[in-house]
Structure 1
Amino acid sequence: MLINRTLRMITVLAATFTVALSGTVAASASAAPAGESKPKTNRQLLYFNHAYSVVDKETADAVENSEYLRNFANFEVRTTTGGGLTWKGRYLKGRETYLELFSEGDLPGQDAEFGSAGLGVSAEIAGDLGTVTQRLKDSGIAEPFPYRQTRDFGDGVKVPWFDTIRTTGEQYDAFDPWGMEYLPEYFADPRGQTEPESFPGDVGRERYLPDDYADHLMRDVTYIRIGVPARDLANTLPLLRAGGFEIKSLSNGGAIAEGGGTRIVLDSVDRQRAGLKQVQLSLNRSLPVMTEKRIGRSTLSVGPGARAVWSFDPRPA
């Protein structure tokens, strides 16, 4: 799900894995205990919703045309209009989480470049995004940057989709992180094909996503590793802390954020090495052996057991 990144930049200018969890991140990303930080409360407010990244055209085309991925996951290639922009995404959707891939050139401006990426973490209970916003202010973020995203289902009528908050309104270098909360107007629109609420104030990920994941192997994203420029990383960590994630520093200058069932690894890199590196996925059933598929410049290893690891090659030479 692409936030209106171009509009955000205009507004600012005008107004102002295989990495196993047991050994986990490779030697270049070993945890440094001195950098640990605890969430302010025991209750998680934001959870991994989805991540996106711009990959090379060879990989994007291979993903788009992969028959294996159509069987492996609730897979969709969709063109979406929202916030004044239209984009084509390649989606692998699970029970509560999903992954979105773009090709080089799919998006406008710098967002079309290889390695551009973003991370959405979302509230499960209505009002929690407001609590996160207050936590950001309490932590010293004087003016968190709010934005409301809309969606156009094709009739020209903008439907409120979700509210977002960021730690800054300044343009990022390559990585855009935001907190989000789905809106009642979107859940009320039958074209969104969402589910009824499970409790009063339910704005959760499982309600938003369809149950078609159950007919495929992929269940959810449990681990993701992304290369992030240092300035973008500095703007990301306060949001994750405010959302209740536990943050651990890495020796490479990056960080691990844990909470809500997904481990997020953010390596501190220069712009040339930014972008998606690896995703680990849980499966709906255990497999006796591993199946390995080469998809463009990436490798998807499925099994053994109830997990898959999808590794992406570095920038093409």
Structure 2
Amino acid sequence: MLIRRKLRMLMVLTATLAVTLVGTATTGVRTARAEQAPPLPGRQLLFYNHAYGVLDRETADAIEHSAYLRDFANFQVRTTTGAGGQKWTGRYLLGRETYLELFGVGDLPGQDGVLGAGGMGISAERAGDLATVTQRLRDLGIANPVPFRQTRDFGDGVPVPWFDAVFTTTQYDAFGAWGMEYLPEYFADPRSRTEPAAYPGDVGRERYLSDDYQKHLMRDVTGFRIAVTERDLANTVPLLRAGGFVLRPTGDGGTLAERGGTTIRLDVAPQDQIGLRQIDLSLNRPVAQRHEERLGRSTLVVGPGPRAVWTFGLRG
């Protein structure tokens, strides 16, 4: 999703918010060790929704043209038009509640399209929970959480409200995370092809995604691991904590976020070593034999059993 780039452009044009960015970036450094604090009380408010990574061109092209992936998952290559008319074409593996979005170098503009860049959305299941997360961010020392509304154009030039988002900052190196909550207007639009609400206030991931995953082997993303810079980690930790994840420091200075069905691991690395490292996937049914699929500089191992692991080379 190109929401970070769009948001950054808007902020640069607003002088009053430029002051906010300096304070927020400083706060991000101060909260880098927030994972050492005890979990916040109450239910989890945000859950892994999707993540994206920018891969070398060879790997991205191999994924795009893979016949195996089209059988393995609800796999799509599609172009989306978001706020301000910005467009992006991604390679998508869509599950029951979660999904993965992959790009090649240069597919996204500017720093969002460099090798190793990435992003992650964690979303609310109940209407109103994003507002609670925003207040939690303030309580954690993020004085000015940055709001943003994303829209989607289905092709007729009329933007439809899609989801609200919140960032801890707009200053990042190559990775950013945002909290998000799908909007009633999007669910109400028949072109969204979403499901009816399962309960009052349902804005959940399962409602948003189609049931086409049932026709394939892949079910959901259960693990996401990426190497990021120290600054990008510092900016992400408060959002994970505000969303209700249980955080633990790793031995290499990174953070492990657990709870909600998907384990998120953020490793710390220099700028020239950042990037997507591993995706863990659950399957709709166990498989008896191990299958290994080479996709450029990545390897997808499916089975044996009900799981698959996809590993990525650090550099292309």
Instruction: Map 1:155-174 to 2 at 5 A.
Output: 155-168=156-169, 170-174=170-174
Partner of 1:64: 64
Give the TM-score of the pair, scaled to structure 1. 0.92
Contact kept in structure 1, 2:281 and 2:309, CA below 8 Å = yes
Q: Residues 196-227 of structure 1, C-alpha deviation per residue, up to 9 Å, x if partnerless?
A: 00001000000000000011000000011100
Q: Distance in 1 between matches of 2:35 and 2:201?
A: 35
Partner of 1:145: 146
Give % identity: 63
Unaligned runs of 5+ in 1: 17-33
Partner of 2:28: none
Displacement of 1:107 in angstroms is: 0.8
SS at match of 2:58: helix
Q: Residues 35-61 of structure 1, C-alpha deviation per residue, up to 9 Å, x if partnerless?
A: 643321230000000000100111111
Contact kept in structure 2, 1:3 and 1:149, CA below 8 Å = no
Q: Distance in 2 between matches of 1:141 and 1:160?
A: 26
Q: Aligned AA for 1:6?
A: R
Partner of 2:10: 11
Contact kept in structure 2, 1:37 and 1:248, CA below 8 Å = no
Contact kept in structure 2, 1:36 and 1:246, CA below 8 Å = no
Partner of 1:302: 302
Kindly indicate whether residue 223 of structure 2 is the aligned counterpart of residue 223 of structure 1.
yes
Displacement of 1:8 in angstroms is: 1.4
Displacement of 1:271 in angstroms is: 1.2
Partner of 1:74: 74
Q: Aligned AA for 1:181?
A: E
Q: Distance in 1 between matches of 2:194 and 2:121?
A: 19
Instruction: Map 1:269-308 to 2 at 5 A.
Output: 269-308=269-308
Kindly indicate whether residue 197 of structure 2 is the aligned counterpart of residue 197 of structure 1.
yes
SS at match of 1:237: helix
Contact kept in structure 1, 2:75 and 2:92, CA below 8 Å = yes
Partner of 1:86: 87
Q: Distance in 1 between matches of 2:79 and 2:151?
A: 15
Displacement of 1:92 in angstroms is: 0.1
Partner of 2:99: 98
SS at match of 1:201: coil
Q: Aligned AA for 1:114?
A: L
Partner of 1:27: none
Q: Distance in 2 between matches of 1:35 and 1:216?
A: 37
Displacement of 1:251 in angstroms is: 1.7
Q: Residues 15-53 of structure 1, C-alpha deviation per residue, up to 9 Å, x if partnerless?
A: 21xxxxxxxxxxxxxxxxx96433212300000000001
Contact kept in structure 1, 2:35 and 2:241, CA below 8 Å = no
Q: Aligned AA for 1:274?
A: I
SS at match of 1:62: helix
Unaligned runs of 5+ in 2: 19-33
Partner of 2:244: 244
Contact kept in structure 1, 2:2 and 2:88, CA below 8 Å = no
Aligned length: 298
Q: Distance in 1 between matches of 2:48 and 2:54?
A: 19
Partner of 1:154: 155
Contact kept in structure 2, 1:38 and 1:245, CA below 8 Å = no
Q: Distance in 2 between matches of 1:4 and 1:94?
A: 22
Contact kept in structure 2, 1:116 and 1:174, CA below 8 Å = yes
Q: Distance in 1 between matches of 2:156 and 2:242?
A: 37
Q: Distance in 1 between matches of 2:303 and 2:163?
A: 35
Q: Aligned AA for 2:160?
A: V
Contact kept in structure 1, 2:125 and 2:205, CA below 8 Å = yes
Displacement of 1:145 in angstroms is: 0.4
SS at match of 1:200: coil
Partner of 1:210: 210
Partner of 1:45: 45
Contact kept in structure 2, 1:119 and 1:177, CA below 8 Å = yes
Partner of 1:31: none
Give the TM-score of the pair, scaled to structure 2. 0.92
Q: Distance in 2 between matches of 1:132 and 1:278?
A: 28
Q: Aligned AA for 2:177?
A: P
Displacement of 1:14 in angstroms is: 2.0
Contact kept in structure 1, 2:226 and 2:277, CA below 8 Å = yes
SS at match of 2:13: helix
Q: Residues 253-291 of structure 1, C-alpha deviation per residue, up to 9 Å, x if partnerless?
A: 110000101100000111111111000000000111110
SS at match of 1:178: strand
Q: Aligned AA for 1:73?
A: A
Kindly indicate whether residue 130 of structure 2 is the aligned counterpart of residue 129 of structure 1.
yes
Q: Distance in 2 between matches of 1:215 and 1:101?
A: 21
Q: Distance in 1 between matches of 2:11 and 2:44?
A: 30
